[in-house]
A and B are shown apart, each in its own frame.
Chain A
Amino acid sequence: MATVQAPSPSAGPADTGVTQVAVVGRSPWNLFWSRFVRDRAALAGAVLIGELIVLAIVAPLVAKMVGHGPNELFPLSVHGGIYLPTGPSSHFWFGGDQNGRDVFVRTIYGARTSLVVAFVATGFAMIIGVVLGTIAGYFGGWIDTIISRVIDIVLSLPLLLFAIGLATVCSTTATGCLGGLLQPGLSLVSGIIALFTWPYIGRIVRGQVLSLREREFIQAAHAMGASDARIMFGELLPNLVAPIVVYTTLIIPSNIIFEASLSFLGVGIPQTTPSWGRMLSDATANNLFTYAWWMMLFPGVFLLLTTLAFNLVGDGLRDALDPRGSRR
């Protein structure tokens, strides 16, 4: 802990040089940035995320270049009358799957599904969590009691089972469920994941608001006659950016795994949408993975790299924003 810089301007360059250098106050943002860029693992994670995003965006171009669509069938290999997937080759870089689809193209497309669901679901979870957490912490009393108890209850639910149930229920008809709020497809999965993960953010935000609420600048805002909404979103929220960013980033990888788990179990994401979880589930059918290891290896490695990248960045952000640096 001793090596961590105190977040004050006096720890700047002034006490090092023999020649007098003008003391420049470093903003919290400068401090954060200088810590973050020194964290090579986090930078590597950020670069990897950038590459994955680019890959997801250019997926149709890749498909065009390779000449195989994500759902195009190439029943190439016949062994003794049994169709078996073909292994990696110069035409099929990651091999083919049980229907003769190109695993490489599907893996690239899978990045789209994973990233879209992860960002949309986490975004919704963040908004709900921040709004409810701020309201609970700021108003206290019975409002806090209700919101906190709801959080407790959601966290005691068997998450995956409920998610499977909701996903199955809402996929049976084209209109979706909850009055059309959840439509079958990616939005359904994102909605379900958001519904079950906002309490993690909500709880953290509430705790932070509870301690900030008693600070002088909030009292000053009260004294100046600021409205509750203004204090919550104009005064409190800017001070919550750091923890919100850190915990949101750390929830993204677990949401990616959440989506992959649902797809792995065959619920939520429609059949034709390539998803890493569903590709892995295809590999398990009839123990196909014992022969066609490429069906298991490539989607799995991409999934792992994606979660790893987000975890690296999340840890890096946490270390850079936490001035106590206790975990480093």
Chain B
Amino acid sequence: MRGPPQAAPAPVPSGSDDWDMWRYVARRLLWVVFVLLVISAITYVIFFIMPPVNPVVLFAGKSPTPTILATVSHQFGLDKPVWEQYLLFVKHVFLGDQYGWPGLGFSFQYRESIRSLMAARLPVTASLALGAALVWLVIGIPIGVASAIKRRTLVDRLAMGFALFFVSAPVFWLGLMFLWIFWFRLGWAAGTGYYGFTTNGFGTWLNHMVMPWVVLALLYAAFYARMARGNLIETMGEDYIRTARAKGLSERRVIFRHGLRSSLTPIVTMFGMDLGGLMGGAIITETVFNLQGIGQWAYQSVGTGDIPAILAVTLVTSFAITFANLVVDIVYAYLDPRVRYS
């Protein structure tokens, strides 16, 4: 799911030269590390101190004796004090564990290393997120731009009606409606489930991904269309656009060369954060379409008390979001010459 609409991103403070940029990047990287430490600590507090399901009892088998419970608890490393477990976790993330680097531990549920489990699910989530991102950019931005150029016409009204509808529609309902209409009734699209393209061929993979892409992308497309429209309308009122027109440039050139550039830069920020967030899995879309991605895994792990899996997904998602934020801020400075680092 996507959060509520956000205000414009805070600009990077001004200054100049390359050295400043590297100092800025280093400071931001430290911040990323700090955020991850805090977030994993919060995850520890929520899931280790107050576990939704006690993993030891769950995985010790039927009517376990206290000795078995103690053994399982020791095996999971849950017999140590919480702060010690947390420090050990942090140490493993930085230095690696018996499964390699970064050490994310092993899954209580599958008795396997979290890294290999995650490696199996990452392609699913990446397929979903990247495909959907492409779809929403291709749908959302042209609609927003067309709507801004043809302001107050039928095109604009239809486009904004579309945007309003999909901003409001809940993804899980949209997913069900799409499944019902395009899979069950019309038989156009393939049903649920993920079919990797290395094992099942490109066509099967594509066939099963199209509907999840579109369903997930429509919500974002709607947000992007609204944002592109608002920004472009605002930009077209700027003085330099009047200057460009006064020089005798064609309206086409004014819009595409001068208007779009500065009106689309804020969208870059939004895009980075949205894509980063989705790399941690889209729980709802993955659940509706039964895609065994990271989001669905994390959601199921809450039910089974597989805490290391939850922790790993939280860490990866938060890393993706904070890192995407950093990348976006750097890209931003290249796109917008008014922005400098300090």
Q: 7 tightest A-B contacts by CB?
A: A168-B52, A300-B173, A307-B168, A254-B4, A158-B317, A308-B168, A327-B230
Does B7 lie at the interface of the complex (its beta carbon under 8 Å from any beta carbon of A)? yes
Bound complex: CA A273 to CA B321 (Å) = 35
CB distance from A152 to the nearest CB of B (A): 7
Q: Could you show 19 A-B contacts with beta carbons less than 8 Å apart?
A: A152-B35, A157-B39, A157-B314, A161-B310, A161-B313, A164-B302, A165-B52, A165-B310, A169-B47, A169-B51, A197-B4, A203-B7, A251-B4, A264-B172, A290-B180, A300-B170, A311-B164, A311-B168, A327-B230
Does A61 lie at the interface of the complex (its beta carbon under 8 Å from any beta carbon of B)? no
The residue from A155, A165, A207 contacting B302, defined by CB atoms under 8 A apart: A165
Query: Assuming A156-B318, A161-B298, what are 8 further A-B pairs, CB within 8 angstroms?
Result: A1-B237, A169-B51, A200-B3, A290-B184, A300-B176, A300-B177, A327-B229, A327-B234
Interface SS of chain B: helix
Bound complex: CA A170 to CA B38 (Å) = 21
| Residues of A contacting B21 in the complex (Cβ-Cβ under 8 angstroms) | none
Does A20 lie at the interface of the complex (its beta carbon under 8 Å from any beta carbon of B)? no
A291-321 toward B: CB 8 Å interface, digit per residue (1/0)? 0010010001001100110011001000000
| Residues of A contacting B180 in the complex (Cβ-Cβ under 8 angstroms) | 289-290, 293, 296
Bound complex: CA A311 to CA B4 (Å) = 11
A304 pairs with B168, CB closer than 8 A: yes
A156 pairs with B35, CB closer than 8 A: yes
| Residues of B contacting A307 in the complex (Cβ-Cβ under 8 angstroms) | 168-170
B152-183 toward A: CB 8 Å interface, digit per residue (1/0)? 00000000000011011111110011011000
CB distance from B316 to the nearest CB of A (A): 9
| Residues of B contacting A264 in the complex (Cβ-Cβ under 8 angstroms) | 172, 284
B234 pairs with A168, CB closer than 8 A: no
Does B1 lie at the interface of the complex (its beta carbon under 8 Å from any beta carbon of A)? yes
B46 pairs with A166, CB closer than 8 A: yes
CB distance from A304 to the nearest CB of B (A): 5
Give B residues with C-beta under 8 Å from A: 1-7, 35, 38-39, 42-43, 46-47, 50-53, 164-165, 167-173, 176-177, 179-180, 184, 229-230, 233-234, 237, 277, 280, 283-284, 287-288, 295, 298-299, 302-303, 310, 313-314, 317-318, 321-322, 325
Bound complex: CA A158 to CA B230 (Å) = 28
Give A residues with C-beta under 8 Å from B: 1, 152-153, 155-162, 164-166, 168-170, 172, 177, 197, 200, 203-204, 207, 247, 250-251, 253-255, 257-258, 260-261, 264-265, 277, 280, 283-284, 289-290, 293, 296, 300, 303-304, 307-308, 311-312, 315, 326-327
| Residues of A contacting B6 in the complex (Cβ-Cβ under 8 angstroms) | 200, 203
CB distance from A169 to the nearest CB of B (A): 5
| Residues of B contacting A265 in the complex (Cβ-Cβ under 8 angstroms) | 283-284, 287, 299
Bound complex: CA A45 to CA B170 (Å) = 18
- Residue in B53, B170, B177, B280 with the greatest tally of chain A CB atoms within 10 Å: B170
Who on chain B is nearest to A168 by CB? B52
B233 pairs with A158, CB closer than 8 A: no
- Residue in A162, A255, A280 with the greatest tally of chain B CB atoms within 10 Å: A162
A312 touching B283 in the complex, CB below 8 Å, given contacts A158-B313, A304-B170? no
- Residue in B167, B172, B280 with the greatest tally of chain A CB atoms within 10 Å: B172
| Residues of A contacting B230 in the complex (Cβ-Cβ under 8 angstroms) | 326-327
Who on chain A is nearest to B234 by CB? A326
The residue from B39, B47, B284 contacting A160, defined by CB atoms under 8 A apart: B284
